Amino acid sequence: MEGYHSPQVHVQVRLNTNESPVAPPAAWQELLADEVASVDFHRYPDRAATGLRRGIAELHGVGVENVFAANGSNEVLQTLCLTYAGTVRTVVTFEPSYMLHSHIAKISGATVVSGDRDADFAITASIVDSVLERCDPAITFLCSPNNPTGVVDSRELVEYVLRVAPGLVVVDEAYGQFAPRSALDLVDDSRNLVVVRTFSKTWAMAGARLGYLVGPSWLVEELDKVVLPYHLDTVKQLAGRLALHFHAEMRDRVETLVRERERLVAVLTELPVRVWPSGANFVLFRPLYHDANAVWQGLVDRGVLVRNCASWPRLGGCLRVTIGTSAEDDQFLAALGDVLAETPEGAGS
Ligand SMILES: *Cc1c(COP(=O)(O)O)cnc(C)c1O
């Protein structure tokens, strides 16, 4: 098996892992430092993470019994796979999508069956049908907005998958707050649906490793049996609980990044690249006449790192840029304009 890799190069402008370009509020960090000073470190953490889960539940208007939190949404996904996938079971993904869905499912022992998104990277009802004819999945993964394409699933599509998929439907909304719609309001004890979110992107807390899901209470009960006891350390629980006091600041940050995304897309549209519309804090694009690897290297040479997707299945020639501060985005756009102004390699001189 291949491991999961996200190469890091030391450059000035890092627009490759969809992190927030700015830190969380200083007031949050001060509050956290104060509370950490009086933590009883000789005691185990609150195993049920009650304060944190209550805060998340209030944020979404659900019960504390509808929230499961873990070390990043990756651990949420892993716990879902350990609980509902595993050997002799099948997991469905729609590619290209977030690599860890299929990766974690396989590690759990499950067989992964993948549907192929259409030319615009959308999932259609007929794509869903053709996958479900081939298997009987325990879990069907959706990702909206989808990483790395930025596509937001339509409400009709999510409802269709919920209707026809036999097992659990997981909607990964790591970028949910950047998008115009969410599946959160569909979560109900009567549906096999969970929505997964994270503090890593919109909350600007990738370093804290905290994610969660909102789902049926009966499902949360099952996950609690599977996950390791005391998996959420005391400091992390505090970090998440206190972050929720800065919800307005998070929304401001998201609004700024969405405006910045629209600005960046408008400029990219004027360049010789194909751009896909995005509901997230990143944009996928493909140079029309230039080799993507050469463009990626040209950007690195100019101090800008983006994600090179050129060798990923279905993403030949594509690069993905994370939205940064407007200064960083300007640096990216200037560097890209520069690189694309050069004569493409292989073109006659
Ligand atoms: C970044 C990302 C995550 C986040 O994982 P964490 O473990 O919460 O940092 C989850 N899903 C998708 C699709 C992502 O892009």
Which residue has the CA at smallest separation from atom 3 of ligand 1?
174
Q: Which residues of the chain have pLDDT under 70?
A: 7, 345-349
**Sheet harboring 273-275: ordered strands across?**
13-15, 304-308, 319-322, 282-287, 273-275
How large is the angle between the packed helices 155-164 and 125-134, nearest 10 degrees? 20
Q: What angle do CA 210, 121, 260 make, to 5 degrees?
A: 60
Which residue has the CA at smallest separation from atom 2 of ligand 1?
174
What is the tens place of the pLDDT at every residue in 126-154? Answer: 999 999 999 999 999 999 999 999 999 99
Q: Are 279 and 180 in contact (CB under 8 A)?
A: yes
Q: What is the pLDDT of residue 347?
A: 61
Backbone angles phi and psi of 100, in degrees to 5: -70, -20
Q: What is the pLDDT of residue 346?
A: 62
- The percent of residues in the chain predicted with pLDDT above 90, rounded, is 95
In the chain, % helix, strand, coil (3-state, to 5) comes to 40, 15, 40
What is the tens place of the pLDDT at every residue in 221-245? Answer: 999 999 999 999 999 999 999 999 9
Q: What is the pLDDT of residue 332?
A: 98
Is the CB of 200 within 6 Å of ligand 1? yes
Closest ligand 1 atom to the C-alpha of 199? 8
Q: Give bridge partners of residue 306 from the DSSP assignment.
A: 15
Mutation test residue for ligand 1: of 71, 77, 98, the one with most atoms within 8 Å of CB: 98
What is the tens place of the pLDDT at every residue in 261-289? Answer: 999 999 999 999 999 999 999 999 999 99
Mutation test residue for ligand 1: of 74, 143, 203, the one with most atoms within 8 Å of CB: 74
Q: Are 24 and 254 in contact (CB under 8 A)?
A: no
Residue 319 CA to ligand 1 center (angstroms) comes to 18
Is the CB of 198 within 6 Å of ligand 1? yes
Q: What is the pLDDT of residue 349?
A: 43
Mutation test residue for ligand 1: of 80, 147, 171, the one with most atoms within 8 Å of CB: 147
Q: What is the pLDDT of residue 249?
A: 97
